[in-house]
């Protein structure tokens, strides 16, 4: 469909620009400050504002037409990164602007997810979400490489002009490549912040949604442990080269892409919904192999298998869509996205903290056990009703 092609291309361009911006800002902050901590904060601050966006501005996703919200988010992102690109911008201002980007991101992602059922009907929604996840994963992998090459030839301030152009192009694609549709909810007298906070409470009150939210947030929080500890694991295994670390970092995202393709082509919609928990278990069973402290190449194979399990989200997406009322869809998916990103950020931090006291392979093994325990606790609460074929 022409509309989905525009959304797909906009996602690709914006994700690539966002990754380049992350790398460039990290380098720029380190060059200015000489502080590894401040440089690391440029990545950490990408997670923190998701809660702010979900709590205080998520009502925008339902209160205004989707196309208008999506375009506005990209225009704001374009303007923010353009200000970041101004030479000599103070570091506190750069970090503050990064918070703005992180606040806008969950609103954009929630609005886009909420608008997909209007573009793709029936089982097309889950497949469309899957395809967008795949392009995000592969573009992130490519973006880190592209960002590194770009910084060889351009200064950080010049390199930031690339994501500026990317966000502008994405805004144009969404503006002229998608149809205008009415808002899902009439504009109310309450402020955006009050309506957003009220919407969060309504989201948690939706019957049957809480188990789906926990199932969305908790497993990935444990599954990111191998990626979080890629560098220390390679070093502790006697193979700490940059190439091996890069291989470990790419293994799970590559497995995720392959898993999405296999699930989308081999499983029927009802099977994807019914097998959410067994497929999620694939994320953690391979991590038990870290008990043997495998060599980095074997560890990369286990992480690839772990990535296959991330496709459990396809069935979970359909269940979430079935449960959430249309008038609450934008806020619900914004909250879902925010919780997922924050959970992954917590997972990265927790794995790193644990590795200060335990060997990396023990931390990864523990994450696998904790992930399986999470599925045992959350799994029974997930409805096994078949979706319509």
Same domain, 219 and 195: no
The structure tokens 């805004």 sit at 171
The structure tokens 């409805």 sit at 383
Q: Which domain holds residue 224?
A: 206-389
- Which pLDDT does position 55 carry in this prediction? 59
- Which pLDDT does position 352 carry in this prediction? 79
What number of other Cβ atoms are within 10 A of residue 120's Cβ? 19
- Which pLDDT does position 279 carry in this prediction? 92
The string of DSSP codes covering 275-313 is THHHHHHTTTGGGGGGGG---HHHHHHHHHHHHHGGGHH
Terminal CA-to-CA distance of the chain, rounded, Å?
Answer: 21
Q: Give the closest residue to 133 by CA, choosing from 6, 258, 300.
A: 258
pTM assigned to the model: 0.69
Residue 350 within any structural domain of the chain: yes
Residue 186 within any structural domain of the chain: no
Distance, CA of 232 to CA of 361 (rounded, Å): 9
Distance, CA of 297 to CA of 303 (rounded, Å): 10
pLDDT in tens, the chain (389 residues): 788 888 888 888 877 877 777 777 777 776 777 765 565 556 556 666 666 655 556 567 677 888 898 999 999 999 999 999 898 888 888 888 888 887 787 778 778 877 877 777 666 766 777 777 777 767 766 666 676 677 778 888 888 898 899 999 999 999 999 888 887 666 555 566 676 667 678 888 888 888 898 998 999 999 988 887 877 787 777 665 556 766 777 788 888 888 888 887 888 888 888 888 999 999 999 999 999 999 888 998 999 999 999 989 888 888 888 888 877 777 787 788 778 877 887 887 788 788 888 888 999 999 999 999 999 988 887 754 444 33
Same domain, 101 and 210: no
Same domain, 153 and 222: no
Same domain, 239 and 155: no
Same domain, 132 and 268: no
- Which pLDDT does position 335 carry in this prediction? 80
Same domain, 126 and 234: no
Same domain, 103 and 230: no
Residue 184 within any structural domain of the chain: no
Same domain, 374 and 281: yes
Same domain, 197 and 269: no
Same domain, 212 and 130: no
Q: How many domains does the chain have?
A: 2
User: Which secondary-structure segment (H or E) carries 316?
Assistant: helix 312-323
- Which pLDDT does position 308 carry in this prediction? 92
Same domain, 250 and 374: yes
Residue 41 within any structural domain of the chain: yes
Identify the CATH number of the domain in which residue 266 sits. 1.20.1250.20
Distance, CA of 361 to CA of 183 (rounded, Å): 49
- Which pLDDT does position 72 carry in this prediction? 92
How far, CA to CA in Å, does 305 sit from each of 3, 81, 247, 263?
A: 33, 36, 14, 14
Close Cβ partners of 266 (under 8 Å, ≥ 6 residues apart): none
Residue 107 within any structural domain of the chain: yes
Tokens of 148: 């590194």
Residue 214 within any structural domain of the chain: yes
DSSP code, position 358: S
Count of residues for the chain? Answer: 389
The string of DSSP codes covering 150-170 is HHHHS-HHHHTHHHHHHHHHH
Distance, CA of 262 to CA of 251 (rounded, Å): 17
Residue 183 within any structural domain of the chain: no
Residue 241 within any structural domain of the chain: yes
Same domain, 92 and 228: no
Q: Give the closest residue to 304 by CA, choosing from 367, 245, 255, 253.
A: 255
């Amino acid at each position: 469909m022409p509309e989905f092609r525009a959304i797909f291309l906009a996602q690709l361009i914006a994700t690539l620009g966002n990754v380049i911006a992350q790398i460039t800002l990290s380098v720029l902050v380190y060059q200015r400050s000489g502080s590894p901590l401040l440089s690391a904060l440029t990545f950490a601050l990408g997670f923190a504002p998701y809660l702010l966006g979900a709590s205080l501005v998520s009502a925008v996703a339902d209160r205004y037409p989707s196309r208008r919200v999506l375009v506005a988010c990209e225009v704001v992102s374009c303007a923010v990164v353009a200000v970041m690109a101004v030479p000599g911008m103070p570091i506190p201002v750069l970090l503050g602007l990064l918070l703005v980007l992180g606040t806008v991101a969950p609103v954009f992602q929630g609005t886009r997810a909420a608008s997909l059922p209007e573009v793709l009907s029936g089982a097309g929604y889950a497949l469309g979400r899957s395809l967008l996840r795949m392009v995000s994963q592969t573009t992130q992998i490519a973006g880190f490489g592209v960002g590194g090459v770009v910084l060889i030839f351009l200064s950080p301030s010049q390199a930031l002009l690339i994501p500026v152009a990317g966000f502008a192009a994405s805004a144009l694609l969404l503006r002229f490549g998608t149809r205008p549709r009415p808002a899902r909810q009439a504009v109310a007298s309450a402020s955006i912040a009050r309506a957003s906070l009220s919407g969060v409470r309504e989201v948690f009150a939706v019957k049957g949604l809480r188990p789906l939210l926990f199932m969305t947030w908790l497993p990935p929080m444990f599954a990111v442990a191998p990626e979080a500890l890629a560098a220390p694991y390679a070093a502790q295994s006697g193979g700490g080269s940059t190439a091996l670390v890069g291989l470990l970092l790419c293994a799970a995202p590559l497995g995720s892409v392959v898993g999405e393709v296999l699930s989308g082509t081999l499983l029927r919609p009802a099977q994807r919904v019914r097998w959410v928990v067994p497929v999620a278990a694939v994320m953690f069973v391979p991590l038990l192999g870290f008990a043997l402290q495998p060599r980095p190449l074997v560890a990369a194979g286990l992480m690839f298998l772990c990535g296959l399990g991330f496709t459990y989200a396809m069935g979970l997406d359909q269940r979430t869509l079935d449960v959430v009322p249309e008038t609450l869809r934008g806020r619900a998916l914004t909250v879902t996205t925010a919780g997922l990103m924050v959970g992954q950020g917590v997972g990265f931090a927790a794995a790193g903290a644990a590795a200060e006291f335990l060997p990396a392979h023990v931390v990864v093994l523990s994450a696998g056990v904790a992930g399986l325990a999470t599925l045992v606790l959350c799994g029974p609460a997930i409805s096994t009703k078949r979706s319509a074929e």
